[in-house]
């Protein structure tokens, strides 16, 4: 049975382009020598949360201060905006310490990463939206935490917030004073603290989870690998031109993002080789369907009915299968459309070659693909509106039972 499980993990890892997938193990075995810190305690990140902000936000919720804090934080958008007045003194003091880039952040790499994101946004929209977004629904802890938190009841709104997080990360000046990502990350960090306080009070979540407290450092690392590590590998698999310098810059933007989200530096991979090794341990072996995840996937894919993507639902299902694997498509019950599958397998590689100037011949389906990706991006950019501000607010409750 162990060998069958290992083969399943390796085949799924290969399908996802995560080349160093290993079989699941209960022990944390990734060495901190592969981290940006270069050293560490070796403590399993599954039991590391964000203690200081967790205590602050739990107090805000218990003392019914969240509505006032949300009102005060609404005007706090750009990285160089002053901290809003009207916040509790201890929250202000905390934000003053963390609302800045780490000392090891490299502005040149961050600028290069933003330029890369701009140049390759066609593929990034698709891979983040249909790849990482749907992959999150087969990450059991993430799917259950999302479903039973307040945001799970409105997936279009949640998708807009999640996508805008990536949108701010990818902006040309996202990490600079006039950008917004540092503020976005800190707001998200505060929201995570609220969810860690609220979800353990949900009998629906506690009935299905194997965690005592959600969104540990390990959980955030899993999410990173479903985003950054997965996307980088897919771009390479698709033979999208991706220089070593661009790859390094792309990783650096995620390293800084992880730091800003409260992940300890000893867990943040310092290279893609170490990132893939970590991903092989913490992401690929845990992928599996759940009742909550199947419903979330259908909600996300059903959002497209509200926006004309210029394609059928069968085409959408097949693109998810193309990006993630037939195994995940089967888990989620995505109905087959073999004509669309054949079109995607033959025309998508030709679409990439033409877009990258590597072929003078545009595939017949060029317009279909181009409009599809553009419409998909706008769908997640805050319900089709311009994504200029992340609509991030602190929740005060969980999802009620349906």
Q: Is 385 helix (H, G, I), strand (E, B) or coil?
A: coil
Contact 45, 217 (CB under 8 A): yes
Contact 296, 314 (CB under 8 A): no
Query: pLDDT digit string (tens) for 67-98?
Result: 999 999 999 999 999 999 989 999 999 999 99
Give the global pTM.
0.92
Contact 88, 65 (CB under 8 A): yes
Backbone angles phi, psi at 93, to 5 degrees: -60, -40
Residue 347 is predicted with a pLDDT of: 95
Query: How far apart are alpha carbons 72 and 354 in whole angstroms?
Result: 48
- Measured on CA atoms in the order 165, 211, 151, 143, is the torsion positive or negative? positive
The tokens describing 400, both together, are 């009620």
Query: How far apart are alpha carbons 250 and 236 in whole angstroms?
Result: 13
- Measured on CA atoms in the order 229, 231, 237, 241, is the torsion positive or negative? negative
Length reported for the chain: 402
Backbone angles phi, psi at 256, to 5 degrees: -65, -40
Q: Is 264 helix (H, G, I), strand (E, B) or coil?
A: coil
Count helices and strands in the chain by DSSP H and E runs: 20, 0
CA 152 to chain centre: 15
Query: How far apart are alpha carbons 254 and 225 in whole angstroms?
Result: 10
Let me know if 214 is exposed, middle or buried by CB neighbors in 10 A (0-12, 13-18, 19+): buried
Query: pLDDT digit string (tens) for 379-390?
Result: 665 444 444 454
Supply the DSSP symbol for 267: G
Residue 245 is predicted with a pLDDT of: 98
Residue 384 is predicted with a pLDDT of: 43
Query: How far apart are alpha carbons 212 and 366 in whole angstroms?
Result: 48
- Annotate 351-389 with DSSP letters as a single string: HHHHHTTS-S---TTHHHHHHHHHHHHHHHTTTTS---S
Q: Is 76 helix (H, G, I), strand (E, B) or coil?
A: coil
The tokens describing 56, both together, are 């602050």
Question: Alpha carbon of 296 to those of 51, 85, 141, 185, 288: distances in Å?
Answer: 29, 37, 13, 24, 14
User: Residue 27 is inside which H or E element, if any?
Assistant: none
Residue 163 is predicted with a pLDDT of: 61
**Phi-psi domain of 181 (left: phi exceeds 0; alpha: psi -120 through 50; beta: other):** alpha
Contact 198, 398 (CB under 8 A): yes
CA-derived radius of gyration, the chain: 20
Contact 134, 332 (CB under 8 A): yes
Contact 94, 56 (CB under 8 A): yes
Residue 21 is predicted with a pLDDT of: 47
> Which residues of the chain have a pLDDT value below 70?
1-26, 155-164, 166-167, 304-308, 379-391, 402
Contact 247, 238 (CB under 8 A): no
Query: How far apart are alpha carbons 167 and 379 in whole angstroms?
Result: 13
Residue 386 is predicted with a pLDDT of: 44
Contact 76, 91 (CB under 8 A): no
- Annotate 112-158 with DSSP letters as a single string: HHHHHHHHTHHHHHHIIIIIIHHHGGGSHHHHHHHHHBGGGG-HHHH
The pairs formed by 315-322 with CB atoms below 8 angstroms and a separation of 24 or more are 315/340, 315/343, 315/344, 315/372, 316/130, 318/344, 319/126, 319/130, 319/344, 320/130, 320/134, 322/348
């Amino acid at each position: 049975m162990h060998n069958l499980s290992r083969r399943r993990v390796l085949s799924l890892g290969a399908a996802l382009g995560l080349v160093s997938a290993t079989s699941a193990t209960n022990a944390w075995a990734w060495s901190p020598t592969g981290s940006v810190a270069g050293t560490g305690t070796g403590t399993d990140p599954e039991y590391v949360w964000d203690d200081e902000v967790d205590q602050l936000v739990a107090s805000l919720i218990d003392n019914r201060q969240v509505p006032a804090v949300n009102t005060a934080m609404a005007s706090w958008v750009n990285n160089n905006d002053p901290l809003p007045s009207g916040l509790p003194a201890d929250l202000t003091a905390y934000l003053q310490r963390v609302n800045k880039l780490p000392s090891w952040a490299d502005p040149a790499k961050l600028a290069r990463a933003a330029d890369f994101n701009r140049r390759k946004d066609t593929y990034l929209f698709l891979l983040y939206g249909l790849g990482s977004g749907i992959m999150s629904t087969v990450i059991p802890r993430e799917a259950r935490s999302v479903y039973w938190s307040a945001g799970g009841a409105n997936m279009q709104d949640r998708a807009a917030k999640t996508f805008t997080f990536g949108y701010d990360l990818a902006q040309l000046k996202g990490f600079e004073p006039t950008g917004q990502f540092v503020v976005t990350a800190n707001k998200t960090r505060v929201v995570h603290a609220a969810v860690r306080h609220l979800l353990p009070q949900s009998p629906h979540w506690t009935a299905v989870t194997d965690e005592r407290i959600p969104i540990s450092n390990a959980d955030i690392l899993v999410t990173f690998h479903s985003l950054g590590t997965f996307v980088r590998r897919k771009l390479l698999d698709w033979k999208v031109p991706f220089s070593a310098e661009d790859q390094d810059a792309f990783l650096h933007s995620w390293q800084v993002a992880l730091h800003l989200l409260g992940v300890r530096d000893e867990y943040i991979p310092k290279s893609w080789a170490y990132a893939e090794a970590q991903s092989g341990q913490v992401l690929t072996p845990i992928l599996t369907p759940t009742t909550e995840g199947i419903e979330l996937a259908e909600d996300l894919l059903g959002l497209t009915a509200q926006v004309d993507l210029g394609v059928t639902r069968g085409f959408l299902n097949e693109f998810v299968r193309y990006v993630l694997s037939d195994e995940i498509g089967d888990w989620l019950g995505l109905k087959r459309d073999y004509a669309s599958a054949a079109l995607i397998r033959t025309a998508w590689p030709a679409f990439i070659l033409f877009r990258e100037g590597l072929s003078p011949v545009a595939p017949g389906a060029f317009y279909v693909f181009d409009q599809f990706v553009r419409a998909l991006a706008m769908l997640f950019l805050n319900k089709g509106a311009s994504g200029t501000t992340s609509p991030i607010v602190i929740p005060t409750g969980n999802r009620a039972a349906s």
